[in-house]
Amino acid sequence: MTRLPKDPRLALMLLSSIVEPGDAELDDLVDEAGPVDAVRRVWEGTVPDRLRRITGATVACTHDPADRADQLASATADCGARFLVPGDPDWPDQLRDLMLVCDANEPHVRPPRGLWVRGEHDLAQLCRRSVAIVGSRAATEYGQHLADDLAADLTEAGWTVVSGGAFGIDRAAHLGALARGGATVSVLASGVELPYPKANRSMFDLIAQRGLLLSEWPPGASAMKHRFLTRNRVIAALTAGTVVIEAANRSGARNTARHAAELGRVLMFTPGLVTSSQSAGVHQLAREPWEARLVTRAEEVIEDLTGIGGPMAPAPPQERRPIDRLTETEARLVEALPRGYVVEAARLAAAAGVPAETATVTLARLKKIGWVDQIDNRWRLSRGGAY
């Protein structure tokens, strides 16, 4: 007789290892029957045809599902991970929003059934004030520099940076956050014990120590292209907003961006050169009807994330010139004096659009503070009066 896992968490873990996330039929079955009974029905073959065909091969070669579930639990524990499910205190409830946007065209855009988590932090708490920074793997130096800077400054301001662990922008964002001691979150498309790409291993080790590695796939699962796309919805749903830093026209980052927009998250992008193929995707984003916001620094990201109630980004520092200290009438007269010319007061007043008497008084004052020189009734700019 087939031994079935008795613990719902183990049952969900098992189901997550044999059916890809976002399978509406499996999700419905779990909702209806509970995970334990769902496993039973999968192994009995009393599930809809399509689901039976998908699970058939695994069922045929797995005679002891309870044992397979135990193996998964051991593999999870062995890499220092845990398996979170909806309803756990540290389950991030914002993932539920995915339920609002999944439709027939994109059935896989559904909340995850569970998440493997590696790291000490409370996932829900860590993502309460979080922002995704995503972008191209083939990023330019400029893009990586921006990602690093933004992540560092957002971390400093108390925001958790979430990204996907890839080369390029993702890596720069994670490293920028880590550099400020930030508990960054990496959402993976492979098992949490061997994050992809391997070349980022030392970064992933740091993230596991100081932040969190997340995956919908069990230990042992390898990163596959469609899994990256599936994963992107989690990055978008976990966070209050997504910043796309660089993206080519075809790019996973744009996919994450679309999810963010559809979920009502704040969608932001950093601009770049019109001539850069790595910026083509973000510039295209700006022209799509998603109200993507152009951001250039962390204060602007925070302003956009926190909305009307939040802090306003201070205006960028403006150069203050000597002429800014003059009154409007004074400035008009000074500006109306062509450099190197000597001009009659009446003509100057007319050119500046200032009444003649006002001009006389104002020019006297300007002379006193060293802006203009008087020669009979004619005036010229002082040599010192640069503006």
Contact residues for a second copy, defined by CB under 8 A: 18-20, 23, 50, 53-58, 60-61, 142, 146, 221-222, 224-226, 249-250, 270-275, 279-280, 283-284, 286-287, 293-297, 300, 316, 318-319, 332, 335-336, 338, 345-347, 349-358
- In the complex, the smallest distance separating the C-beta of residue 387 from a second copy, rounded to whole angstroms, is 9
Nearer to a second copy, 103 or 357 (CB): 357
- In angstroms, the CA 5 to CA 345 distance is 97
Nearer to a second copy, 6 or 347 (CB): 347
Nearer to a second copy, 125 or 338 (CB): 338
β-partners of residue 106 are: 103
DSSP 8-state class, residue 245: -
DSSP class per residue in 132-152: EEE--TT--HHHHHHHHHHHH
Using a CB cutoff of 8 Å and minimum separation of 24, what contacts does 203-210 make? 203/165, 203/171, 203/174, 203/175, 203/178, 204/165, 206/178, 207/119, 207/165, 207/174, 207/178, 208/80, 208/118, 208/119, 209/119, 210/119, 210/178, 210/181, 210/182, 210/183, 210/184
* Phi and psi at residue 28, to the nearest 5°: -60, -40
Nearer to a second copy, 287 or 383 (CB): 287
Burial class (CB within 10 angstroms; exposed 0-12, middle 13-18, buried 19+) of 327: exposed
- In the complex, the smallest distance separating the C-beta of residue 121 from a second copy, rounded to whole angstroms, is 30
Nearer to a second copy, 102 or 126 (CB): 102
- In the complex, the smallest distance separating the C-beta of residue 177 from a second copy, rounded to whole angstroms, is 19
- In the complex, the smallest distance separating the C-beta of residue 165 from a second copy, rounded to whole angstroms, is 17
- In angstroms, the CA 197 to CA 199 distance is 5
- In the complex, the smallest distance separating the C-beta of residue 60 from a second copy, rounded to whole angstroms, is 7
- In the complex, the smallest distance separating the C-beta of residue 9 from a second copy, rounded to whole angstroms, is 21
- In angstroms, the CA 219 to CA 21 distance is 15
**Residue 233 corresponds to which tokens in the numbers above?**
């919805």
Which residues make Cβ contacts (< 8 Å) with residue 221, sequence separation at least 6? 17, 190, 191, 215, 227
Nearer to a second copy, 19 or 117 (CB): 19
Nearer to a second copy, 30 or 127 (CB): 30
Helix (H, G, I), strand (E, B) or coil at 44: helix
Compute the Cα dihedral for 55, 56, 61, 65 and give only its sign. positive
Which residues make Cβ contacts (< 8 Å) with residue 122, sequence separation at least 6? 89, 90
Nearer to a second copy, 125 or 377 (CB): 377
- In the complex, the smallest distance separating the C-beta of residue 149 from a second copy, rounded to whole angstroms, is 9
- In the complex, the smallest distance separating the C-beta of residue 39 from a second copy, rounded to whole angstroms, is 15
- In the complex, the smallest distance separating the C-beta of residue 239 from a second copy, rounded to whole angstroms, is 21
Nearer to a second copy, 126 or 150 (CB): 150
Tally the C-alpha atoms within 13 A of residue 288's C-alpha that lie toward its C-beta: 18
